[in-house]
Amino acid sequence: ETGVTQTPRHLVMGMTNKKSLKCEQHLGHNAMYWYKQSAKKPLELMFVYNFKEQTENNSVPSRFSPECPNSSHLFLHLHTLQPEDSALYLCASSQEVLAGGSSRTDTQYFGPGTRLTVL
């Protein structure tokens, strides 16, 4: 067990639905990530939270809305999605180490993912 859990594991939703993906890490890490993994495409980083603050948003459409209420929990709120949003959504966590004015990312620990299908 990696210490990162994701729920639900599978989700089917219509384009007008609103749903949320949940990620929880039990590793005491200070950074959390959302990735999108589509078939035959590279892994895409969507959002990064360091110390509960969003530090990266890689031009993700506004129909994806992240929330990080504390360093252990990360949500991805979904609304009015498109069929091309169907993918495996992976959550990860890591311990960011600050040294010499810059940060270093240690190993990322991944959850099992949520397989999302948008009809």
Partner 1 sequence: AQSVTQLDSHVSVSEGTPVLLRCNYSSSYSPSLFWYVQHPNKGLQLLLKYTSAATLVKGINGFEAEFKKSETSFHLTKPSAHMSDAAEYFCVVSDRGKSTFGDGTTLTVKP
Q: Choose the binding region for partner 1 from 12-20, 61-69, 78-86, 101-109 (rule: CB under 8 A).
A: 101-109
Q: What does 45-95 look like in DSSP terms, one character per residue?
A: EEEEEETTEEEEE-S--TTEEEEEEETTEEEEEEES--GGG-EEEEEEEE-
Is 52 an interacting residue with respect to partner 1 (CB under 8 A)?
no
CB of 111 to partner 1, least distance (A): 5
Is 88 an interacting residue with respect to partner 1 (CB under 8 A)?
yes
Q: Which CB atom, from 12 or from 15, has the smaller least distance to partner 1?
A: 12
Is 74 an interacting residue with respect to partner 1 (CB under 8 A)?
no
Give the Å distances, CA to CA, from 61 to 9, 36, 66, 80, 88. Answer: 22, 12, 11, 11, 17
Q: What is the rounded CA–CA span in Å between residue 16 and residue 48? A: 26
Beta bridge partners of 97: 104
Specify the pairing of strand 114-118 against strand 10-13: parallel
Residue written as token pair 């311990």: 95
Applying CB under 8 A, among 81, 90, 116, 118 the residue interacting with partner 1 is 90
Contact characters 18-47, partner 1, x per CB under 8 A: ------------------------xx-x--
Residues forming the site for partner 1 (CB under 8 A): 2, 4, 6, 42-43, 45, 50, 88, 90, 92, 96, 102-113, 115
